[in-house]
Amino acid sequence: MRKQKTSYFLFFIFTLLVFFPSPALSQLVLGQYEDEAPFRTWNTLGIKTASSLGMGEAQFTLASDCSVALSNPALLTKLPPISFTVSYSSKRAAFFKYSIVNTGVLYSDENLSHQYSGFDFIGMSLRLKNWALAASWSLLEAYYRPVSEFQYSSQGNIYYSIILDQRGELYNGNLSISGQLAKGFSIGLGFNYVYGQFNKDITEKWVRERITIADFKSQDYTGYYFNGGLVLDLSKSFRIGAMFQTPYIKKSKSQSSLRYESPGGVTDIEIEAASDDEYHQPLIVGLGVSYLISEGLKVMSDFTFYNWSKYKVIYFGEPQEREFKDVIKIAFGAEYVNAFLLFDQLFYAPWRVGFCYDPQPMKDPNSYYFYLSFGSGLRWKSLFFDAAFIMGQERGSGDSLTASKVAFTLSYQF
């Protein structure tokens, strides 16, 4: 009889959550990390291969490999006639408030961290005289969170458990063209098609009562946008670069399944929903400068504006509250290239250092990251290998979040 009463009670709570979700949702303040927030920072733009990562993520005037097609395609005319690049990275980030962790039924008294690794860029560019073409595939964003689990047990027996598992990725296919219109002046334009998926599972179990409540949501993303830029060499030492990325709507085919199972009470209820949702991504514009101080030594800086105040989310047919502000990200880097002979072969070794100020778009909390980066590499004839590491500390939220990334990039240019 007690089991049957417990089953009815849980079914009552289940029904309230399903049919009257608005009060609960309005109180669910996630803080820094909404479900759709990218893994390490909101301010994603293109792919930072190792050469860019080592200089604080500055990239608007850096013609190091064909990944420039995603940030400033005008730089494609500065590459050799053929350029092939592949890049691998590993990201680690700390989280405190996300989904139902420290906002709902799961609690942690310390930050939880997660690491995500994999190949994130492969591309090729061809240049014929004053014109260049490029094609690439890249991993733009990841939506992973630490898997969180709680169990209540007594005398070695588990009575209750709840587990959260969130994962997702956003990919990009890019086609770009660039042309040198005058000596020292180039422009470029790229077309980008994005696609990906998002999944979140929340499963609760009452073991003795044999009751399971499973909440599963999935989304399939598609969208497209244009990006472009220009490069102006004012002298042999001074270069200016500018770029833009158009705002676009990341569309989502969303599905939801909420299931209540109680085999002891012969109860199996499943409520399904489907929706066409939208994520209105912001306009991005940027300006970069670089200066060659002496042979082998140069410095550069980027300023990137993200129009986050226009960001909108429509989730299962309902607008979501996102109090975002416009931000400007600042990156600075320096590179020194050392030449040396080894086995009668000429090698080049770049040494890089940089920092980055990366303000997050939320109005509350007023959160921002400071990053320091380091990088190096080895270049022999047409083969380029670069490695870099960036690490950052968040301030403003009071949670002392951290984030880091390491990248390894291999290019063949001739």
Contact at 8 Å (CB) between 106 and 162?
yes
> pLDDT tens digits, residue range 242-255?
999 999 999 999 99
Count of C-beta atoms within a 10 Å radius of residue 299:
16
Q: What's the CA gap between 17 and 206, in Å, rounded?
A: 18
> pLDDT tens digits, residue range 291-346?
999 989 999 999 999 999 999 999 998 999 898 999 999 999 999 999 999 888 99
Higher pLDDT, 264 or 326: 326
Strand runs labelled E in 64-210 = 82-95, 112-128, 131-142, 148-154, 157-182, 185-206
Q: Is the dihedral of CA 375, 73, 176, 84 positive or negative?
A: negative
> pLDDT tens digits, residue range 115-145?
999 999 999 999 999 999 999 999 999 999 9
Q: What's the CA gap between 392 and 389, in Å, rounded?
A: 10
Q: What's the CA gap between 98 and 30, in Å, rounded?
A: 6
Alpha carbon distances (Å) from 285 to 118, 327, 329: 28, 11, 11
The type of residue at 337 is V
Q: What's the CA gap between 78 and 179, in Å, rounded?
A: 10
Q: What's the CA gap between 268 and 348, in Å, rounded?
A: 67
Express as a percent the part of the chain with pLDDT over 90: 77
Contact at 8 Å (CB) between 255 and 277?
no
Domains in the chain, CATH or no CATH each:
2-413 (2.40.160.60)
